[in-house]
Amino acid sequence: MTQPNEMNIERESMEFDVVIIGAGPAGLSAAIRLKQLSHRNGRELSVVVLEKGSEVGAHILSGAVFDPIALDQLLPDWKAEGAPVDTPVTVDRFYFLGPAGSLRIPNFLMPPLMSNHGNYIISLGNLCRWLASKAEELGVEIYPGFAAAELLYNDNGSIRGVATGDMGISRDGELKDSFMPGMELHGKYILIAEGAKGSLAKELMKRFDLDKDTEPQKYGIGLKELWEVDPEKHSPGLVQHTMGWPLDNRTGGGSFLYHFGENLVSVGFVVHLNYQNPYLSPFDEFQKFKTHPLIRNLFVGGKRIAYGARAITEGGWQSIPRLIFPGGALIGCSAGFVNVPKIKGSHNAMASGMMAAEAVFEAIVEQRQNDMLRAYTSAFQASHVAKDLKRVRNVKPLWSKFGTILGVALGGMDMWLNSLLPFLKYTLKHGKPDYATLSPAAKCEPIRYPKPDGIVTFDKLSSVFLSSTNHEEDQPVHLRLRDPEIPIKQNLPLYAEPATRYCPAAVYEVIEGADGEMKFQINAQNCVHCKTCDIKDPAQNIDWVCPEGGGGPNYPNM
Ligand SMILES: Cc1cc2nc3c(=O)[nH]c(=O)nc-3n(C[C@H](O)[C@H](O)[C@H](O)COP(=O)(O)OP(=O)(O)OC[C@H]3O[C@@H](n4cnc5c(N)ncnc54)[C@H](O)[C@@H]3O)c2cc1C
Ligand code: SF4
């Protein structure tokens, strides 16, 4: 069947029972659960997963300390079946850093729910690759290299499906010889599993007012490097977190450092995107962190293998939007299920995918389609995911309001209280959305970062090279400015155009043209799809939309 799109070009369409957008832990768990239910009940269902990365896992970036609670429920024999989940956490350390020293917080002071006992250090990308192979064995169709670029609606306003992006359109919008129109995928239900700040979820949020009664979603930017270190310095199973230096007391965030596999260390740094000083550069804070005396020596003599960045949802319980809309549901970090103090969301993403799948299966068995999946909302409210998020709901607001030292101490007390007295009801608010927290540049101190040493610290461009990001250059820019004048006329004088610093991939530059005029340049081919610009631009002038499918980073095992 062919359908005309907005350019009046006919496109093919395909019918499925369920269309899932995104092959992350949420999308793949939903797909697997759907097929398990369909095989168990003798009711064949067609399930398709679209993934914008060139392969499953190519766009996945996480820590990752992994809680197997949801994997145990999804594929109980995962150990025997060879899941890449094989470095158990053996040591858990937590430090507060000052410029030259560090203070270890004793484990007995940490609330029990912060413990990583029973968890594993993994590459989430590799776990997704494995989950995809399991899904395909069960009959799920997975199409990597295809971005879902457009939502399709029925006449009654419910979601009918999605269309993949057209391929072969030039930067100026002309059709090239290689032009291939997108394809429509229609489904009885559509599950949105795009991860933090997805482009389709953003449209759905607005169209169905999904976040009308909730606090604004909060985010952090997480930067990560994968290193191969000297075997003498490698301690498989060691998990180390820090907070404090180099961030000041008013800027939330911290580091993670996980030893796993064959001499591999995942090191990363999260900066909460409600920071105020527009001169702050999360990338440079990360590089500076690695120069701390507690940290630097680990990497001397080692080799940096990969680099990347990704936004992480931080709003938690009070920012969860309405999960359902006519014809579909938000799952995983499209809704935002990260437990912030634990920096863990993949187990909750998987569990939400399974719950949504169960609601979809029940609906299809009842001969329903394109309606509200209320059973998913009820299952979520009663789930361990809701319990997990409720107990830590006040930590992020306390941190934002009182700064790192007092806020984290109060957050710790609040977690103890909520663990011991789970009936406590008070919920603190987050306040402003992250784009509204910058102070004018004129009121802030510029921050001078040290030059990279090429041993443990590096510049942005050599880092972007290690993300293996790649986009067809002659295609429309996928970072759309609602008003092209704003960066130079408004953001530059007011905030010294922060995009040049918050973007971890040197996509945005302010350059002086031959005529002496300042110009805003977008190097879209460098983009690593972290979505920070869509979140932090103070004028909310940047819309991140999907580039041609297959474009973006090619993370090996992040
Ligand atoms: C730096 C960092 C460290 C973290 N550490 C941990 C940790 O240690 N432990 C833990 O449990 N969690 C951690 N998390 C959180 C965890 O990674 C997320 O909660 C989890 O990945 C969410 O899974 P998801 O399936 O919802 O989304 P994602 O993992 O983001 O997957 C979404 C997928 O959808 C694809 N996609 C998006 N839009 C489209 C589209 N329109 N069309 C087609 N495909 C699309 C993406 O390419 C991607 O493959 C961390 C996150 C970050 C950023
Ligand atoms: S352009 Fe935006 S999404 Fe791309 S890397 Fe930069 S901040 Fe991230």
Helices (H) and strands (E) in the chain, counts: 15, 25
pLDDT at 3 over 50: no
pLDDT at 345 over 90: yes
For 333, the 3-state DSSP assignment is helix
pLDDT at 13 over 70: yes
Q: Where are the alpha helices (DSSP H) in 302-373?
A: 346-365
Q: Which residue's alpha carbon is at the smallest distance from atom 2 of ligand 2?
A: 533
Report whether residue 129 contacts ligand 1, using a CB cutoff of 6 Å: no
pLDDT at 9 over 90: no
* Chain segment 168-181, per-residue pLDDT in tens: 999 999 999 999 99
Q: Which residue's alpha carbon is at the smallest distance from atom 15 of ligand 1?
A: 345
Average pLDDT of span 490-497: 98
The one-character DSSP state at 344 is B
Label residue 6 by pLDDT band (50, 70, 90). Answer: low
* Chain segment 251-286, per-residue pLDDT in tens: 999 999 999 999 999 999 999 999 999 999 999 999
User: In this predicted structure, what is the pLDDT of residue 7?
Assistant: 61
Specify the DSSP element, H or E, that contains 465: helix 460-466
Report whether residue 338 contacts ligand 1, using a CB cutoff of 6 Å: yes
* Chain segment 531-553, per-residue pLDDT in tens: 999 999 999 999 999 999 889 99
Nearest to 533 by CA among 204, 139, 197, 167: 197
Site to probe by mutation for ligand 1, drawn from 65, 184, 285, 312 as the one with most ligand atoms within 8 Å of Cβ, is 312
User: In this predicted structure, what is the pLDDT of residue 549?
Assistant: 82
Distance CA 448, CA 446 (A): 7
Average pLDDT of span 127-138: 98
- How many Å lie between the centroid of ligand 2 and the Cα of residue 404? 27
Distance CA 221, CA 431 (A): 19
* Chain segment 288-297, per-residue pLDDT in tens: 999 999 999 9
pLDDT at 4 over 50: no
Nearest to 390 by CA among 320, 483, 453, 303: 320
* Chain segment 430-465, per-residue pLDDT in tens: 999 999 999 999 999 999 999 999 999 999 999 999
Q: Which residue's alpha carbon is at the smallest distance from atom 10 of ligand 1?
A: 344
Report whether residue 89 contacts ligand 1, using a CB cutoff of 6 Å: no
Q: List ligand 2's pocket residues with C-beta within 6 A.
A: 479, 503-505, 507, 527-533, 544
Give the other-Cβ count within 10 Å of 456's Cβ: 22
User: In this predicted structure, what is the pLDDT of residue 305?
Assistant: 97
Up-side HSE of residue 7: CA atoms within 13 Å toward CB?
Answer: 13
Beta bridge partners of 238: 91
* Chain segment 417-434, per-residue pLDDT in tens: 888 888 888 999 999 999
